[in-house]
Structure formats: C-alpha cells, structure tokens
C-alpha cells in the first residue's frame, strides 16, 4: 500500500460545496475565484498596515483621533478585516443557504468599488482632505450595499437558519449601518450637521463596526469552523444562538445611547461583556471536549480569545475613565490594538491556514487545472514565527501605549511587521496558484496521491 506523504493529518473540513451556477465553465471559474480576489486584496492591505504602523505609533500615543491614525485604522478595519470577511462570506453564505449568488457580476463590480473606495479613504485621511474622504466613503457605502444585496438575498429567505447563518445575517445589517454612519461622520466634517460630541459619535460608529459587524461575523463563523476543526464530543449548545442575539441587541443599545448622548452606556457595555464571555465559555466547552489536537489554526483562535477578554477589560476601563483625557486616549488606542490585532487578526490568520488553501484547491478543480492537495498549498514551517511575533508584538504595543513608552510601542509594531510580512509572503505564494495553472515543485513527487484520482499532467 502506497502512503501519501502529502496527505494532511488535519481534520477534513466540511465545506458544503457551492451550488453549481448555470452558464459556461468560465462563469463558474469566475465565481469560484471571487473570494480569492477579496483575500488577495485583504493580504495586500495587511502588508500596507504593518509596514506603516511603526511610523504612526507616535501619533497614536499622543492622541488617537488624528489623520494618520484614522488612515491606519481604516486600512486594517476595511482593507484587511472587512475584505477577508467578505471573501469568506462570498464562499460560505451560498454554500450554507444552498442559494447561489443572485448577482455574481455585481459582486465583481462591488470588489472594484470597494478597492477604489478604501484606497481613496486611506489616502485622503493621510492628507486630511475631508471632501475627497467622504466622496471615497460614499463609494465604499455603494460597495457595501451591493455586498449586502447579494448576501441578504441568500440569507433572508432561508427557512430554518443555523447559528452561522443567523450571525452572518445580523452582521451584514450592522456592516451596512456602520458604513452609512461612517459616511455621515465624514460629511459632518464638512457641513457640521450632526449633534453630539465627536468622541461619542465616533465611538458609536466604531462599536457598530467592530462589535456588530466584525465580532458577530467571527462568532458566527467560529461556531461553524471550530467544531469542524476539533470534532468535539458534544453538540454546539443552544446558548450559541442566544449569544449572537444578545450581542446584536446589546451593540444596538450601546450605539443608540452613544449617538443619542443619553445614559445607559454602562448597562449596554455590561450586556456586551456578558455576551462575549458566553462566546468564550461556548468555545471553551468545545475545546475541552475535542477529539483533534490543537494546531496552529486553533492556537491563533485561542490567542484571539485571550485578547478578546483583555479587550473587554480595556473597554470597561475606558468607559470609566473616558477617552477625553491623555490616559483615556492611550487606553482607547490599546483597546483598538488588542481588539483589531489581538482578537480579530489572530482569528483571520488562523482560519486562513485552513480556508485559503481549500478554496484554491477547489478553484483549480473547477478550472480543470492540475489538482493540488491542501498541504501542497501550505507552508506550515513558518507558522510558529508568525504566531509569536504577532502576539508578542501586540502585547508590547499595548503596554507601550498605556505606559506612554514610545520605544516599547514602536518595538511592538516592528515585531508585528516582521511576522506580518512573513505571513503576507506565504499567503501570496499560496494565493498565486489560484491565478496560474502551474504546480509547486513538491507536487512532482511520484508517491503523490490526491483525492478523486491522480493529478493531471
């Protein structure tokens, strides 16, 4: 019996193949490549963010509401995080709901509008030109609306929704609301029509995006992915669905009191904390009852959960001391760093190790190119360095921000950049095989066996 030394020992992921689209083979390939386009955009923006961070950290220590900090923040939140999540949802929402994308050509237009809009926002944040900034933000809103159209037409008509579909439906609605509010905040810099303080309005926008869109999506996706990776001995508890609803309602309540300038922020913040702790408890029960070992994907996920708890603590402390003081401003910066880099980026990086190669392998099969195994599209030997540089860097940056130690904070951003650029290089290598039919040199092994038959010459 021949043993395939390239076969993966990782658990087989239930990917729920996307329903076949009618039309020529070229259209099916175009649709299969759509999520990968978003991943490529996300990785490029992540590279830009980690390279720019050491040059911006000084401004972040001084005060978080500055042009360069806003530019870097949106490079991460829109360019890196949102693009990656859109890519995942374009692949999984049609699969989970068994409904093909209603307007696949609009999805390609949406991608280009998204790239142009985000690049325009980042560039004009840097130079502080607000009219061009809100014009670019308007392009992003149009892009988000097109994305929401495709997603909601799949998610809204679903009969009995699973926990993942429920969370993603709520998250898409929050993304649309957060994008529109962001546009209004930018336009307000020119016309000054919004009531309330800049800080509370900005906080409302930030929490709609970070908690309503990003965290809801992560919770929903992880409820689907973590059981597939760990094969736990228990079923996902009913509390997972209630956790998503609780988080969604609490985020709405917090945003309303922040934007309305009314009391109650402490109540809604506590409710959000309880919802997030419920998420941590649910994941903890799955990890304890797992059948599969902890790999680098799950190490990133667990590190993200630790960062989530830390971010929740920083958020509560920020509520007590306020963001207007010097200390409060630095805590706000640390809160953002731990949330966006420690929590969200850890999750995306970890999941990308499993999802990206699988999507590329599926695309190559759809295109009729030589088949590749998931292990042939991965370079796992670099993962320990990426993991430790990201998490050590986030810890150093967080401490440096809170203590106003610019040297330590800049050291943290440099460590993050080293690991981030290595991750970008590895992901760029993997993603390139979605755009070329060639195969890695290791694929020439005569003992290589692929599921579904031998690879094509």
Instruction: Domains for the chain: give ranges and CATH numbers.
Output: 25-435 (1.20.210.10)
Q: How far apart are CA 171 and CA 148, in angstroms?
A: 10
CB within 8 Å of 94: residues ≥ 6 apart: 18, 19, 100, 101, 154
186: left (phi over 0), alpha (psi -120 to 50) or beta: alpha
d(CA 294, CA 307): 18
Residue 18 pLDDT: 40
Residue 282 pLDDT exceeds 60: yes
Residue 53 has pLDDT above 50, yes or no: yes
What tens digit of pLDDT does each residue of 62-121 get?
Answer: 998 899 999 999 999 999 999 999 999 999 999 888 899 999 989 999 999 999 999 999
DSSP class per residue in 247-299: HHHHHHHHHHHHHHT-S-HHHHHHHHHHHHHHHHHHHHHHHHT-SSPP-HHHH
Residue 412 · residue 393 · CB < 8 Å = yes
Contact 51, 417 (CB under 8 A): yes
pLDDT in tens, 159-173: 567 899 999 999 999
Taking CA atoms, 287 is separated from 142, 280, 305, in Å, by: 40, 10, 12
Show Cβ contacts of residue 371 under 8 Å, excluding neighbours closer than 6 positions.
361, 364, 365, 450, 452, 455, 456
pLDDT, mean of residues 409-428: 98
pLDDT tens digits, residue range 182-224? Answer: 999 999 998 988 888 888 999 999 999 999 999 999 999 999 9
pTM of the model: 0.91
- Across the range 118-134, mean pLDDT stands at 95
Percentage of the chain beyond pLDDT 70 is 91
Q: How confident is the model at residue 434 (pLDDT cuts 50, 70, 90)?
A: very high
Structure token digits, residue 67: 């042009």
pLDDT for the residue 216: 96
Q: Residues near 112 by Cβ (< 8 Å), separated by ≥ 6?
A: none
- Classify residue 454 by burial, with Cβ atoms within 10 Å: 0-12, 13-18, 19+: exposed
Cα 176 to Cα 49, 167, 179, 181, 305, distances in angstroms: 24, 15, 5, 9, 26
The pLDDT score that the predictor gives to residue 174 is 98
What residue has token string 């590749």?
372
Among 173, 146, 150, 22, CA closest to 94: 150
| Arithmetic mean of pLDDT over the chain | 90
Work out the end-to-end distance of the chain between its first and last CA atoms, rounded to an integer number of angstroms: 23
Residue 216 CA, chain-centre distance (Å), reads 11
DSSP state of 435: S
Q: Which two tokens stand for residue 273?
A: 């904390």
Distance separating alpha carbons of residues 201 and 19, to the nearest angstrom: 42
8 Å CB contact between 155 and 169: yes
Mean pLDDT in residue range 365-382: 92
CA 340/CA 304 separation, integer angstroms? 10
pLDDT for residue 392 is more than 70: yes
Question: Does pLDDT of 456 surpass 70?
Answer: no
pLDDT of residue 6: 39
d(CA 449, CA 408): 49
Q: Which residues of 207-226 are buried (b: 16+ CB within 10 A; e: fewer)?
A: bbbbbbbbbbbbbbbbbbbb
For 217-254, the pLDDT digits (tens) are 999 999 999 999 999 999 999 999 999 999 999 999 99
């Amino acid at each position: 019996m021949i043993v395939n030394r390239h076969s993966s020992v990782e658990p087989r992921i239930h990917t729920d193949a996307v329903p076949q689209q009618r039309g020529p083979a070229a259209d099916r390939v175009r649709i299969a490549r759509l999520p990968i386009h978003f991943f490529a955009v996300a990785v490029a923006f992540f590279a830009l963010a980690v390279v720019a961070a050491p040059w911006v950290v000084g401004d972040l220590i001084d005060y978080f509401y500055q042009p360069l900090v806003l530019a870097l923040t949106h490079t991460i939140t829109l360019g890196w995080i949102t693009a990656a999540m859109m890519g995942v949802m374009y692949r999984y929402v049609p699969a989970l709901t068994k409904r093909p994308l209603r307007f696949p050509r609009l999805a390609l237009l949406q991608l280009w509008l998204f790239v142009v809009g985000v690049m325009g926002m980042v560039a004009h944040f840097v130079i502080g030109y607000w009219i061009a900034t809100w014009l670019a933000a308007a392009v992003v809103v149009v892009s988000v609306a097109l994305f929401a159209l495709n997603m909601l037409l799949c998610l809204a008509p679903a009969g009995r929704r699973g926990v993942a579909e429920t969370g993603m439906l709520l998250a898409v609605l929050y993304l649309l609301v957060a994008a529109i509010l962001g546009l209004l905040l930018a336009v307000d810099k020119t016309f000054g029509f919004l009531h309330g303080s800049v800080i509370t309005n900005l906080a409302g926008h930030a929490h709609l995006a970070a908690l309503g869109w990003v965290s809801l999506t992560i919770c929903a996706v992880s409820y689907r992915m973590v059981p597939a990776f760990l094969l736990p001995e228990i079923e996902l508890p009913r509390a997972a669905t209630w956790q998503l609803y609780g988080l969604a309602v609490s985020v709405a309540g917090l945003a309303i009191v922040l934007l309305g300038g009314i009391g109650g922020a402490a109540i809604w913040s506590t409710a959000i904390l309880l919802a997030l702790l419920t998420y941590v408890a649910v994941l903890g029960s799955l990890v304890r009852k797992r059948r599969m070992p902890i790999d680098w994907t799950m190490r990133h996920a667990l590190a993200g959960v630790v960062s989530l708890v830390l971010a929740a603590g920083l958020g509560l402390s920020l509520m007590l001391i306020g963001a207007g003081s010097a200390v409060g401003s630095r805590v706000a910066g640390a809160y953002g760093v731990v949330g966006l880099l420690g929590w969200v980026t850890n999750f995306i990086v970890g999941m990308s190790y499993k999802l990206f190669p699988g999507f590329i392998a599926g695309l190559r099969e759809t295109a009729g190119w030589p088949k590749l195994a998931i292990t042939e599209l991965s370079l796992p030997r670099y993962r320990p360095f990426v993991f430790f540089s990201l998490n050590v860097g986030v810890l150093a940056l967080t401490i440096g921000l809170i203590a106003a130690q610019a040297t330590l904070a800049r050291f943290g951003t440099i460590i993050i950049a080293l690991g981030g650029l290595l991750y970008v290089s590895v992901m760029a290598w993997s993603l390139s095989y979605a755009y070329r039919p060639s195969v890695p040199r290791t694929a020439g092994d005569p003992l290589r066996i692929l599921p579904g038959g031998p690879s094509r010459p």
